Structure 1
Amino acid sequence: MTDAARRALVVGASRNLGLGLARELLTRGWDVVGTVRGGRRTGLHELADAHPARVRIERLDTTVPAEIDRLRDRLDPASLDLLFVNAGITDADVPAAEVGDDVFTRVMLTNALAPVRVVERLADRVTPQGTVAVMSSRQGSISLNERGGHEVYRASKSALNQLVRSYDARRTDRRTLLLVHPGWVQTELGGDGAPLTVEQSAPGILDMIGKHTGDGGLQFRNHLGEVVPW
């Protein structure tokens, strides 16, 4: 199947990797619905100005369940070929015991619980043959954690992976479900020293998604298509 006339919802598309994915999808012939959190103008708005017939902007704060429900109501069932949930924040790189309760709660809510809520509420807006992808991280891999650092961020991505795996274990549909490690990318999270740009990571992510469309089940893979150990 070609990418022509396919439709994706990118949650968290205002900047960085989310915006990069929206741009790359457009170059591949997809129509894009992208979400932003606030009312300010973003790169996604510029993209919509350039492609008014192919880019639709929706407002969504993933940490507010009522906003997820309102977005659900604005989407027709089985109207998407891809749902990509891209959400993530970090905290200071300090031991977990030094992190305040408010910071811990905010990181866990944003990185783990909120994305799963989005998947739970919006998965049926994806066609039965479509794909649900969630932005995870190699840092969420327990077996690969040999150096420590960014402890709460790591824990939030591990929690995300576990919650998505639990969701997969009890769901009855067979849509393809992907946890995605984008590589170490030059964003606010990755820092300027990261080896990959958004423009390098986004095409790899979409190539990987394309190769596994229709697989069914859950996989944890990186932007090169390699399996990431749990």
Structure 2
Amino acid sequence: MAQQGKVLVVGASRGIGLAVVQAFSAQNWDVTATYRSEIPAAGHVAKSDWHRLDMTQPQAVNAFAAQLGEQRFDLILINAGIFGPSHQKLAQSEDDELAQLFLTNAVAPVRTAEVLLPLLSDEKGVLAFTSSTLSSLNENPDAEMPIYSASKAALNMLTRTLAGEVEAQRGTLLTLHPGWVKTDMGGESAPLTAEESAAGIIQQLNTWRGRGGHHFVDYAGHTLQW
């Protein structure tokens, strides 16, 4: 099977990110992926190149981009997310908890993308972020999981600031809802496995190549409201 292209997955230590790496590798993509503490045992797959990265550290992001050098990627997926305080109550939350949540879920992903954007291939390149339907005022009218949801809403807004630069490179910007997935965050009651979510994400990344614009879709290709 011929090589399909080059993909960069930022935040692939476990769950959805790891499943995406495995699926891309199985389809003969050249995969570059990042981990925070150690390469997952299941991450040692063909055509995968792993780098340590803590996205919340700007110097580490700049050093990572320098390591990648002149490489160009057809697809870049920024995958990050923590749940924040389990109680999801502002009055019970510490300032440092909230700061870490918004840094991890909103600020660091977009700041990382700003640094990595020059590595996105001109024309048909896709820059994508994993977000959530919970981030939407329209898709989440009851404000479920409000603190987590607010951090993902912040991600969506900050992501929009990249639209002009992505358009200038004739690329496509995607905000992706991966579904409710059986992960450490999603829990065992979730209807999707990480592998099912990853398959859908990969399909959407390929489907939207060359279409331009900024789109909010789920793993199954349904358009979501902001």
TM-score with structure 2 setting the length: 0.93
Distance 1:200 1:3, change over 3 A: farther
Distance 1:170 1:29, change over 3 A: closer
1:147: which partner in 2? 142
2:112: which partner in 1? 118
Q: Distance in 2 between matches of 1:3 and 1:76?
A: 24
Deviation for aligned residue 1:214: 0.9
What's the secondary structure of 1:157's corresponding residue? Answer: helix
Distance 1:71 1:57, change over 3 A: same
Distance 1:75 1:106, change over 3 A: same
Q: Which shifted more, 83-92 or 2-11?
A: 2-11
Residues 1:158 and 2:135 aligned together = no
2:83: which partner in 1? 90
Deviation for aligned residue 1:74: 1.3
Residues 1:73 and 2:73 aligned together = no
TM-score with structure 1 setting the length: 0.91
Judge conservation of contact 1:34–1:57 (CA < 8 Å) in 2. yes
Q: Distance in 2 between matches of 1:30 and 1:79?
A: 13
Q: Distance in 2 between matches of 1:75 and 1:113?
A: 22
Residues 1:100 and 2:94 aligned together = yes
2:15: which partner in 1? 16
Amino acid at match of 1:62: M
Judge conservation of contact 1:78–1:128 (CA < 8 Å) in 2. no
What's the secondary structure of 1:128's corresponding residue? Answer: coil
Distance 1:41 1:26, change over 3 A: closer
* Coordinate RMSD, CA, aligned: 1.7
1:33: which partner in 2? 32
Amino acid at match of 2:28: G
Pick the aligned partner of 1:59 from 42, 49, 52.
52
Judge conservation of contact 1:94–1:149 (CA < 8 Å) in 2. no
Q: Aligned pair count?
A: 223
Amino acid at match of 1:42: P
Deviation for aligned residue 1:34: 0.8
Deviation string 1:135-177 (CA, Å, 9 cap, x unpaired) is 1111111112223232111000000000011221466333111
Judge conservation of contact 1:72–1:122 (CA < 8 Å) in 2. yes
Deviation for aligned residue 1:93: 3.2
Q: Which shifted more, 96-105 or 178-187?
A: 96-105
- Segments of 5+ residues of structure 2 without an aligned counterpart are none
1:214: which partner in 2? 210
Q: Which runs of 4+ in 1 moved over 4 A?
A: none
Deviation for aligned residue 1:78: 5.4
1:229: which partner in 2? 225
- Segments of 5+ residues of structure 1 without an aligned counterpart are none
Distance 1:42 1:94, change over 3 A: same
2:130: which partner in 1? 135
Q: Which shifted more, 170-179 or 57-66?
A: 170-179
Deviation string 1:196-222 (CA, Å, 9 cap, x unpaired) is 001111111111111110111211110
Judge conservation of contact 2:182–2:191 (CA < 8 Å) in 1. yes
What's the secondary structure of 2:77's corresponding residue? Answer: strand
2:190: which partner in 1? 194
What's the secondary structure of 1:80's corresponding residue? Answer: coil
Judge conservation of contact 1:13–1:34 (CA < 8 Å) in 2. yes
Judge conservation of contact 2:10–2:77 (CA < 8 Å) in 1. yes
